[in-house]
Amino acid sequence: VVDSRVATDQHTNMGTTQSKKADASKPKPMIKEGQRVPNVDFVTRVRYSLKGENPFEWKTLTSDDYFKGKRVVLFALPGAFTPTCSSTHLPGYEKNYDKIKALGVDEIYCLSVNDAFVMRRWGLNQGLQEDKTLYSNGFKKVKLIPDGAAAFTRGMGMSCTWTSQRGFGERSWRYSAVINDGVVEKLFVEMGAVVQNSEEDPLEVSDADTMMRYLTEKKA
């Protein structure tokens, strides 16, 4: 049962109404550089206490909470606990977190079509250092974004399925992006476009090394 606070949590500084939120029910064309990211709600969980077995409560954040007024790196992947995501994609960004931030980035986010419970447990399993500051994003370096209903992923035009290949339902295609004040500055998409039910799951252009090369060249 979702806490009633989810339904009443409002962000008055966002200047948007629910009717203006991205329609999560319809697939969109893949986003392009220069376009604004979709305005959606993310239902997540935040720590409200340092005591108790489950000191977390539901909280709804918006795209503006993550992206407004900041230059951030976002990388998205098919699933928590999956092999390439766990062995290479997330660890690469976690290892190079400070180097990437030093290249003019305010924050680094990892997004997956998984719920908040799974994303937190995956982060702990990966050895990410937990941030126990009350109402924080949960981890001290790379921050994990649960896109459990795939609203952001659909709005980005990155929704895909691997039904016969892996038995996955709807997931995010693997990509990375630099997002500057809510606008896509740079986009790296594996295989150049979303591939449905792909036999391959490449990690060639959305990795941390490729991102650092771009940011270094941009800063020079």
In this predicted structure, what is the pLDDT of residue 7? 39
**Which SS3 state, helix, strand or coil, does residue 87 take?**
helix
Enumerate long-range contacts of 31-36, CB under 8 Å, 24 or more apart. 31/155, 31/156, 31/157, 31/158, 31/184, 31/187, 32/184, 32/187, 33/184, 33/185, 33/186, 33/187, 34/183, 34/184, 35/183, 35/184, 36/182, 36/183, 36/184
Q: Which of 37, 85, 128, 151 is catalytic?
A: 85
In this predicted structure, what is the pLDDT of residue 1? 41
Element (H, E) at 72: strand 71-77
Distance CA 33, CA 12 (A): 28
In this predicted structure, what is the pLDDT of residue 22? 54
Are the C-beta atoms of 203 and 174 separated by less than 8 Å? yes
Per-residue pLDDT tens over the stretch 47-94: 999 999 899 999 999 999 999 999 999 999 999 999 999 999 999 999
Structure tokens at 141: 């370096």
- Judging by DSSP bridges, how do beta strands 183-189 and 175-180 pair with one another? antiparallel
Question: Comparing C-alpha atoms, which of 64, 54, 58, 123 is closest to residue 91?
Answer: 123
Give start and end residues of each alpha helix (H) in the chain.
4-8, 63-67, 83-84, 90-95, 97-101, 116-125, 151-155, 163-166, 208-219
Distance CA 33, CA 130 (A): 33
Question: Comparing C-alpha atoms, which of 67, 68, 42, 1 is closest to residue 146?
Answer: 42
pLDDT bracket for residue 27 (50, 70, 90): low
In this predicted structure, what is the pLDDT of residue 26? 63
Q: What is the largest CA-CA distance in the chain?
A: 51
Structure tokens at 169: 């339902």
pLDDT bracket for residue 19 (50, 70, 90): very low
Percent over 90 (pLDDT), the chain: 78
In this predicted structure, what is the pLDDT of residue 164? 74
In this predicted structure, what is the pLDDT of residue 152? 97
Bigger pLDDT: 28 vs 206? 206
pLDDT bracket for residue 200 (50, 70, 90): confident
Distance CA 99, CA 28 (A): 33
160 is catalytic: no
What pTM, to 2 d.p., does this model score? 0.87
